[in-house]
Amino acid sequence: MIIEKKTWPELFQDISDGKKKFDVRMADFKCRVGDTLILKEWLPDKEDYTGRELEKEVSYVLKTKYHPFWSKDQSSKYGFQIIGFKQEEEKKPEEIIKSEN
């Protein structure tokens, strides 16, 4: 499925530069692994698009509404952080064995 979403300039640029490898969205639409997000740069002060777009394939979706890890009180008090990880090069089997010793 192709999903189009507005993206503010600062976040759009970080995604374009490869610094931001995740997105946080209100879960008011269906999104699954394999879907394509079309991120359209949006100027909120002008209420208009810039014309720049990025196409990203969805590789992981974490939904938090019914997460059993935290209580409602904790969720309301602290909110959530979505944390991205830098992708490391895949290690060869012999490198994994050496690092475990």
pLDDT digits (tens, 9 = 90+) for 15-65: 999 999 999 888 889 999 999 999 999 999 999 999 999 999 999 998 877
SS3 assignment, position 38: strand
62 contact partners, CB below 8 Å, separation of at least 6: 82
Residues of the domain holding 68: 2-100
| pTM for the predicted model, two decimal places | 0.73
CA distances from 9 to 45, 51, 74, 97 (A): 11, 11, 31, 44
- Per-residue pLDDT for 87 more than 90? no
Q: How many domains does the chain have?
A: 1
* Mean of pLDDT values over 56-83: 81
- Per-residue pLDDT for 101 more than 70? no
CATH number at residue 23: 2.30.130.30
